[in-house]
Structure 1
Amino acid sequence: MKISCIKLLAVSLLMSLAYACSSSDTEKPDPEPKEAGERWSVEKANQWYEEKGWLVGANYTPRTAINQLEMWQAETFDPETIEQELGWAEDLGFNTMRVYLHDLAWKNDKEGFIKRIDQFLDIADSHDIGIMFVLLDGVWHPNPEWGKQPEPTPHVHNSGWVQSPGAEVLSDTTKWGYLEDYVKGVLTEFGDDERVYIWDIFNEPDNTNDRAYGDIELDNKKEQALKLLKKSFKWAREANPTQPITSGLWYGDWCNPDSLKAMDKFMLEHSDVITFHAYEGPKVMRERIEALKRYNRPMFCTEYMARPRGSTFENELPVLKEHNVGAYNWGFVNGKTQTIYPWDSWDKEYTSEPNPWFHDILRADGTPYDSSETALIKEHTVE
């Protein structure tokens, strides 16, 4: 009886040991959750920018893409054109580009999207260009659709550009679950990637964009956009990237901290680096720089240069360099976005190339729109 019990106990122990060994091979302990990040200190932000040096470049979409989706979808992703155009950017002395992503690319083709971002970053890095990615966008068409994108409407500025997310998702907080997955997923995937310089969380979130909305009603867009902006910053902090995060001011009076809009106040209090837009000419550019200096953080003008409005390279690039403010003009190569045409092309008929161009620097063959402009850019960028 004793012998059989001993044998039974031994067999039981051996079986338990075997199970434990096999389990250890297949069942890994859950990884430690990544600790949520905090807003960078002023000292950390300024040290980061001192190491980067003055950043200058453009908002970039390849000439073969009408919008973010056409840029990133598998069928229309165009690395050959990107390679060529970023080579032209390198020749101008640009060391950075601001580039828009889109939530539908994540939702519909997550793995492919990640691979194409990685390929794009490889191309940019080969030209010594670091990227500021924009995750969400509140401007132009409110109903983005996955799949084949429309052809440009002749002579119309950004006739096919799409918001991210669209109005249907923005208006319904119950549909924001995949947006959290998108923001956290992209920032986790590339949050330690030295090829990425900055994360711009939400472009012009409270732009009512009346021209593009037409019959679509979204009376509370500003309120919903502020809610999503706050959520997106929370998600970004939980992803805890090693790069700074930001969202940019784009209109209004920023001189008096006590009169800031709730949207602007949140952006200024939660961004690691300060970003803003300025299309009104050198006087306003200087005023905005002076108003934002009080935050003692690195500053980046992420959109400027609209020639008919006095916002030109000649007027503003020297100001930006003088104050060490990073500079991203709107547009690079004239293409399917057609941003050589002004904003009012949505309301006013144009039948030929405007004089002067509104945005963009180069023609589709890489030649300058204005060779004196490209010479001036090189004076400020090429040492």
Structure 2
Amino acid sequence: MRFIHAADLHIDSPLRGLDRYDGAPIERLRTATRSALERMVDKALAEHVDFVLLAGDIYDRDWQDFHTGLFFREQMVRLNRADIRVFIVQGNHDAQGVISRQLTLPPNVTVFSSRTAQTVHLDELSVAIHGRSFRERAEDEDLVPTFPELVPGCFNIGMLHTSLSGRPGHDTYAPTDVSTLTAKGYDYWALGHVHAREVVSETPRIVFPGNLQGRHANETGPKGCELVSVEAGRVEAEFIPLDVVRWSQVVVALEGIDRLEALGEVFRSALEPMLLGASDMLHAVRVTLTGSTHLHGIEANQPGTLDAAIRAAAQDVSDAEIWIEQVQLDLTTPLDRTQAAQRQDAVGELIRLVDSIGSDELALKTLVQEELGGLLSALPQEVAAGDVPQMSDAADLLILLRDAEATVLARLAAGEGA
């Protein structure tokens, strides 16, 4: 017996803010979730799997129109023509109370009820599949105790959209724990909700496959599904990458790098591990430049220089398609700050001023609440949607203050060297 376990397709997930990026491959990014599902169906057909499990969040939200539902239905029809059954539990994004438009799915698709947990028997395979959907978006109850007892003599699979006992970056829905899942006696738990692949347990096998397609810079690395084979009760599983756009974050250390030409070389070296075996897709990369370097002075005098240099270096990579989503700077100019604070000039005065403000927590909090709070809240919506500092506390402001200091010092240093 063989089956595919996938989750969190988030078909037609809106990618907000892309218009801010000049030259962004907008259409390819917006259609990536569809392309990943097509690749999953292609894999199911090529491997002649017996069935497919989809553990929630098929859709990202209520359909704006019927095109989203029709696309998903078309992929299910492809599986139906090959006699491949599909089993679905709905999660928080596609709960029965969230999706208002409806289309009748082909007969190979079973969507588990949200009223109670159900069991579907596949007698020809000696398999029992148990599952329960979300009725509404916020499901606070542990649903596992409502699941049926295992079916003796069968390979028992449980399907659930859950955060388990909590996962960073994910809201708590249908909370439960490994001991509760294990106590059911099932052989395999097909979970959804967590977008990073995680094998929670081997015996029984409890797995989050992650989402099929990363949607932004925080959903990094290969994305795809589990291809599971079961023989004589023994489970073997393989992760299958299906993403067509792969998001990555690359940190480039520039300590001691003082030439723009060398920047390109260092960047391409940092990029190489990410590209191994993955040249057939678009790579969306967020780059962070770190370290103490005289290049910071060049950037201070000509803002945008390092961003452009990284993008130029990406153009020179011949064996992969790369789009630089963003270049972030975490740089300092080589300077003995303690010694510089003793100087009786603009440099020393600036450092002493920053130290004075930074050491007064009350003054920082007042500045956040009374001065910057109103200013940030007045930003236009399209600006506020971008990477604007939240300024939730004094620590945020101190980081911004240090960054401003570094930029000014870089300009002063560049002016002294001119």
TM-score normalized with structure 1 length = 0.33
Comparing both chains, which one has the higher relative contact order based on Cα–Cα distances under 8 Å and sequence gaps of 6 or more?
A: 1
Question: Which structure has more strand as a fraction of its residues?
Answer: 2
